[in-house]
A and B are shown apart, each in its own frame.
Chain A
Amino acid sequence: MENTTHQIIFTGSGGQGLITAAIVLGEAAVIHEGLEAVQSQSYGAAARGGATRADVIISKFPIRIPKIIQTGVLICLTQEAYTRFGMLIRPGGLFITDRRFVKSVQKFDAIHIELDLYNKVVEEIGKPVVFNIAILGALLGIYPVVKKESVVKVLECRFPAALQANNLKALELGMEVGNLYQS
């Protein structure tokens, strides 16, 4: 992670928890690693069923412009998001999708990683609601922009005890899967 600024966009559908995943990532960077981060998201109808988008920028230096025009990392978790936001990927960037939701039809100039994480979450944890944290785990497995312990600390503060176990499991599971792809 020798780069000093990382741009990550989560896209999908309202309700998948992508905004939460983005906030957890930002919190981990700012509160537990002393980095700078900004997070912004789409508002309104899009956040309640349509194509949603959450941007995170993490850097060692103050971040002026919070919106991302071309991103180093793009995560698309619905076909609609794939179609609509696919062009945001920077040439040579990291493009992450899940087979359960996205059939790749286009060739983007990017390293494309097609995960099969949703099915694994359903099989091994049984609660699809923690898929967002599994995706965050996969991201960190592939692209360790913050440390796992930092995310664990955020999850421990953020979620009630009853939900923690599954979220932590999801993070582990995602990281295992992501590690397979680590460059």
Chain B
Amino acid sequence: MNKKNVRFVQGNEACALAAMYAGLDFYAGYPITPSTEIAEILAERLPAKGKKFIQMEDEIASMCAIIGASLTGHKVMTATSGPGFSLMQEALGYAIMAEIPCVIVNVQRGGPSTGNPTHVSQGDVNQARWGTHGDHAIVALTASNHQDVFNMTVEAFNIAETYRTPVILLFDEVVGHLREKLVVPEPGELHLVERLHTSKREGVNYHPYLPREDGRLPMSDFGGVHRYNVTGLYHDMWGFPTDKPELVEDLMRHLVRKIDYAATSLTHHKAFFMEDARTVLISYGSSARSALALVERMCLRGQRIGLLELQTIWPFPEQLVRDYTKDAEVIAVVEMNMGQLVQAVRLAVKKPQRVYLINRIDNRLITDKDIRQTLRAIQGKGV
């Protein structure tokens, strides 16, 4: 470990540094607490490297700007929080339909509406899944510490490029604002996926939506040597609108399956003390820090409790959760909302009656004591 790579930074800075490591060359955004530092840092550092930073008039424009820039061949990102994320939903659907690689960071704060800008919540979990209309698949990643924020941000760019899809980074205020250690990887240390360009030369027909044999869709920089159409309507392999039933059905299946079939390789998680756990905590983001504090303490006392920290939230890692909880007597989902990911857990496990919610909704970080207290009530040990 090189000492010069050790930093003491906020989670937001870890995200910005990771985006640049992954090759971000176009950022458009509208600053909003608690994600502002991402824009602030990139406003300074992207132009210094000859790359683009644009402050847009709002989050709708921000999302549209990164979609356009991505089509022209750039790695793109925007960052926001709840209110801005709501505004982005329509264009997010467009990016899903038109299969445009992009990364959207949502540093969650208290909601709905303007809610509680400077405090923490995990209330956008289901919005990330279903915020935009129509059937679709989505990828959403999260992290509980800065090293993972860095890794997941790089992974978000890799997934976006591999599957031509928007990827949501669902962080929260505690992780975004907290300062802690980050060891910035050396160039080349983390694998980077670059844009897959078409091998079709100028003058040869290029079909933007004709998959290769491996299912991937090579891209041609928009405005470059090939002319093609991009639309939010159902479209054919040329990108032109169609309402032909068989093409509509094929595209729908393609959009959902390209993510669902890859769910296993998209799944990132960490398992702590899970070998013989009878009580399984499932958590993500900053609440997983508190869950881990509790699990570490209880395991020292010989109790059989483990933590499954999910870093991929969507597509929901059903198989993983089912496997890890098959012998569990109590499955408790720790999150800071009224019960969002717990719904997906209940659908995934064999015995949904064993799934409980342990939450905190006053926009303060849930503590190990909060979790312990609810756990005692669940286990019938009193509080």
A-side residues, CB < 8 A to B, are 23, 26-27, 30-31, 36-44, 63-67, 69
Assess whether B6 is interfacial by the CB under 8 Å rule. yes
**Which residues of chain A come closer than 8 Å to B368, judged between CB atoms?**
64-65
Q: Identify which of B7, B8, B34, B118 gathers the most chain A CB atoms within 10 Å of its CB.
A: B8
Is the pair A40, B177 in contact by a Cβ cutoff of 8 Å? yes
Contact (Cβ within 8 A) B367 A65: yes
A67 engages B365 (CB within 8 Å) = yes
Partner of A66 from the list B6, B174, B296 (CB cut-off 8 Å) is B174
Alpha-carbon distance between A40 and B172 when the two chains are bound, in angstroms: 14
* Majority secondary structure, B binding face: mixed
B180 lies within 8 A of chain A by Cβ: yes
Complexed CA–CA distance, A41 and B6 (Å): 21
Give CA–CA (A65, B177) in the complex, Å: 14
Residues of B within 8 A of A (CB): 3, 6-8, 33-34, 117-118, 174, 177-181, 289-290, 292-293, 296, 365, 367-368
- By a CB distance below 8 angstroms, the chain B residues around A39 are 8, 178-180
6 tightest A-B CB contacts, nearest first: A43-B118, A64-B293, A39-B179, A44-B118, A27-B8, A30-B8
Chain B residues closer than 8 Å to A67, beta-carbon distance: 365, 367
A-B contact pairs, 10 of them (CB 8 A): A26-B179, A38-B179, A39-B179, A40-B179, A43-B177, A63-B180, A64-B292, A64-B293, A64-B368, A65-B367
Residue among A36, A41, A43 with the highest chain B CB neighbour number at 10 A: A43
CA distance A15 to B239 in the complex (A): 56
In the complex, how many angstroms separate the beta carbon of A56 from the nearest chain B beta carbon?
9
Q: Separation in Å of the B16 CB from the closest CB of chain A? A: 17
Q: Indicate which residue in A37, A41, A43, A65 contacts B365 across the interface (CB closer than 8 Å).
A: A65
Q: Contact check: which of A23, A41, A64 meets B8 at CB < 8 Å?
A: A23
Q: How far is the CA of A36 from the CA of B180 in the complex (A)?
A: 8
Q: Is the pair B180, A37 in contact by a Cβ cutoff of 8 Å?
A: yes
Given known contacts A43-B118, A44-B117, A65-B367, A37 and B181 CB-to-CB distance under 8 angstroms: yes
With a cutoff of 8 Å between Cβ atoms, the chain A residues found around residue B118 in the complex are 42-44
